[in-house]
Amino acid sequence: MAPDQPPSRLNEEQVIRLIASLAGEGGRDLAVGIGDDAAVLGGTAGGLVVTTDLLVDGSHFDLGFMEPQAVGWRAMAANLSDLAGMGALPAWGFLSLGLPGAPEPEFVQALVGAMVALGREHGLALAGGDTVRAPQVILNLCLIGRMGKAAPLLRSGGRLGDAVCVTGGLGGSAAGLAWLKAGRDPRQEGADAAVEAFLRPSPRVAAGRALAVSGRVRAMMDLSDGLASDLARLARASGLGARVEAASMPLHPGAGAVAAGLEGDALAWALSGGEDFELLFTCDPGEVGLLAELVAEADGGLGVTQVGRLVKGPGVLLSSQGGEQDITMGGWDHFREDAT
Amino acid sequence: MAPDQPPSRLNEEQVIRLIASLAGEGGRDLAVGIGDDAAVLGGTAGGLVVTTDLLVDGSHFDLGFMEPQAVGWRAMAANLSDLAGMGALPAWGFLSLGLPGAPEPEFVQALVGAMVALGREHGLALAGGDTVRAPQVILNLCLIGRMGKAAPLLRSGGRLGDAVCVTGGLGGSAAGLAWLKAGRDPRQEGADAAVEAFLRPSPRVAAGRALAVSGRVRAMMDLSDGLASDLARLARASGLGARVEAASMPLHPGAGAVAAGLEGDALAWALSGGEDFELLFTCDPGEVGLLAELVAEADGGLGVTQVGRLVKGPGVLLSSQGGEQDITMGGWDHFREDAT
């Protein structure tokens, strides 16, 4: 590189690849390393999985706009969802908390209380952490889950021709955020379901566990960045591509209501809105019905919808009445200037 | 509380106590929870210990003043030191990294490369993490260690009359920081050892492991906030107080050189400078010699010094020619306005 050229800059994927290359083989007893929803520890640690997420006020949440309860709930939900994406049973959580100056007890109570309550619903205990002073509120959760006798479900297990399925409805979280940002009434009938999906998402821990225990799922991950980018990751990890049908997409009921009220696009929220925290998995097309029954039974009637198939890659194609389009880039890069 | 009164504010200890009370019992299989160097997972997780630390640029390190190599090294050293304080064998690390905008590859290489290198020296593999955009550089490390057949050494095991011992020399890190902040030459003979102690501390993993395996240590922790406050924590956890002798304090050789050059106080750095990452432990006074031999053999000739005894509490008393003074409050509160 010439000395007067600006230095090259890395995007998020490049940073992750560089860190993975520095970390090397990951050492003994590490079955699955950097790049899946969670790391799987093997050997003497007997099938534990570990996931971690860093969230910063102003970048990943906004305390000027959201109550601390919602921030705490969503942080725990996002991490539980990563464990659900492996089919793990949540066990222990570690919270690092950065606070600007001496906090009010009500604030800590609301933020941490919501995390503890949601964790406890799913069998997780807060077991330790770190509390420091920081320029803004910073949360890091590190969760450990147990696989027990089930094998962890990875992104890389998909096979050509697999059915691509999702749990629940998509686009609700992004629609709820759009509704709140537009200053609309969060209790308005119809839209209220989207607001709830945004503020109090339900991680699909029981569904993920049932799918892992079934032994019939080939690849799985949770939907945190939107179907378009998450399915691209799963397909790529499996050495394949994917084709999905717009008409099959299970839109969250609240997304339709919000789209009508704001002249928004419910399908766009479903494909790339993100933070739905549903599960994305692949299986033999003949097994979809059975797996849907298992999920409904395990997770309070939660639905399963086949949205497409794994095909020769690369990329994710969306079929609709208007033809076929490549939606592989429908996700986002956390380092992009406009990413929030 | 009357509505027009300002809300009460929590200091760091109060925040930790509130979080611990919210977390409750810690659930099944949790042997030691919030409040020790690391949490000890029991039951099916078979004696794993977990520690986590959150570090923020401008609060806990200063990239305007320190090279990224030093920041990465010190972050890993601080966390490894927590595992050393339990007597654990480091195994897996999870790094959450917040970066302001797209980083240069050289920066990531230096920061993460130093962490990986130090971790590897002590048997630890970087196994996963999270990379996000943030207003400043933020690091969170979560490390998992293994106890194997040794029992974890807790702060609470001290008994009345125990010898209070430390490894290595104290005050070097604070002296090195003072030297650098004064703009002095980091290579100057004498002071260079203090600068090295600040920039590249050596976590006492091998010493901690040898002490745990010996079965002869009653209480242990690592020295991260300075002897005055860390010994107060150990003594309080053991239901006791402590008396230490100023004349017995093993000053780091670099601390004396820096104190001479800057008219500083080496003893004050040793008592409350912090970040020496040595070990503090208690044992039967008759066992000090044997344990010193074990530590020297395990950790490259590292020294052990008895600095005092556990006595009836509360608090930590310092005996010197000038008499006795209470130094219990010699530590710091991370939320204090002047804490950096």
Kindly indicate the confidence band of residue A239, based on its pLDDT and cuts at 50, 70 and 90: very high
| Angle, helix A12-23 to helix B105-121, in steps of 10 degrees | 30
What would the mean pLDDT of A242-254 be, rounded to a whole number?
A: 96
Distance in Å, alpha carbon of B60 to nearest chain A alpha carbon:
9
What would the mean pLDDT of B197-216 be, rounded to a whole number?
A: 97
What would the mean pLDDT of B150-179 be, rounded to a whole number?
A: 96
- The answer to whether A85 touches A208, Cβ cutoff 8 Å, is yes
Contacts of B142 in chain A (CB under 8 A): 50, 52, 94, 96, 140, 142
DSSP string spanning A52-99? EEEEEBTTTB-TTTS-HHHHHHHHHHHHHHHHHTTTPEEEEEEEEEEE
Helix (H, G, I), strand (E, B) or coil at A274: coil
> Which is nearest to A51 in space by CA: A6, A25, A4, A86?
A86
B191 pLDDT exceeds 80? yes
- Asked if A116 lies within 8 A of B56 by C-beta distance, the reply is no
Q: Which residue from A minimizes the CA distance to B340?
A: A133
Architecture, CATH, for domain A28-146: 2-Layer Sandwich (3.30)
What would the mean pLDDT of B329-337 be, rounded to a whole number?
A: 52
Q: Would you state the pLDDT for residue A47?
A: 84
CB interface of A with B, residues 253-312, below 8 Å: none
Angle (CA) A108 A110 A113, round 5°: 90
Q: Would you state the pLDDT for residue A34?
A: 60
Kindly indicate the confidence band of residue B333, based on its pLDDT and cuts at 50, 70 and 90: low
Percent helix, strand and coil across chain A, each rounded to 5?
Answer: 35, 25, 35
A62-86 pLDDT, tens digit each? 998 899 999 999 999 999 999 999 9
- The answer to whether B230 touches B223, Cβ cutoff 8 Å, is yes
Percent helix, strand and coil across chain B, each rounded to 5?
Answer: 35, 25, 35
- The answer to whether A205 touches A87, Cβ cutoff 8 Å, is no
- Of the candidates A30, A130, A134, which has its C-beta nearest B127's C-beta? A30
Distance in Å, alpha carbon of A123 to nearest chain B alpha carbon:
8
B291 pLDDT exceeds 50? yes
Considering the entire predicted model, what is its pTM? 0.90
Q: Is the pLDDT higher at B333 or at A4?
A: B333
What would the mean pLDDT of A303-311 be, rounded to a whole number?
A: 98
Q: Which CATH code of 3.40.50.10490, 2.70.70.10, 3.30.1330.10, 1.10.20.60 fits the domain covering B13-146?
A: 3.30.1330.10
Domain A155-326 has CATH 3.40.50.880: no
B257-276 pLDDT, tens digit each? 999 999 999 999 999 999 99
Kindly indicate the confidence band of residue B338, based on its pLDDT and cuts at 50, 70 and 90: very low
Amino acid at A160: L
Distance in Å, alpha carbon of A6 to nearest chain B alpha carbon:
10
B34 pLDDT exceeds 70? no
Q: Where in chain B is the domain with CATH 3.90.650.10?
A: 155-326
Say whether residue B144 is in contact with chain A using an 8 A CB cutoff.
yes
Q: Where in chain B is the domain with CATH 3.30.1330.10?
A: 13-146
Contacts of A108 in chain B (CB under 8 A): 10, 15, 18-19
What would the mean pLDDT of A245-261 be, rounded to a whole number?
A: 96
**Beta strands B39-41; B30-32: pairing state:** antiparallel
| Cα–Cα distance for residue pair A128/B53, rounded to 1 Å | 10
- Asked if B109 lies within 8 A of A9 by C-beta distance, the reply is no
- The answer to whether B139 touches A140, Cβ cutoff 8 Å, is no
Kindly indicate the confidence band of residue A15, based on its pLDDT and cuts at 50, 70 and 90: confident
**Beta strands B304-311; B163-167: pairing state:** antiparallel
B248 pLDDT exceeds 80? yes
Kindly indicate the confidence band of residue B256, based on its pLDDT and cuts at 50, 70 and 90: very high
Kindly indicate the confidence band of residue B129, based on its pLDDT and cuts at 50, 70 and 90: confident
B7 pLDDT exceeds 90? no
Contacts of B138 in chain A (CB under 8 A): 54, 56, 98, 134, 138
CB interface of A with B, residues 39-78, below 8 Å: 39, 41, 44-46, 48, 50-56, 58-60
Residue to mutate among A62, A126, A275, A332, with most B CBs inside 10 A, is: A126
| Cα–Cα distance for residue pair B32/B42, rounded to 1 Å | 9
Distance in Å, alpha carbon of B298 to nearest chain A alpha carbon:
22
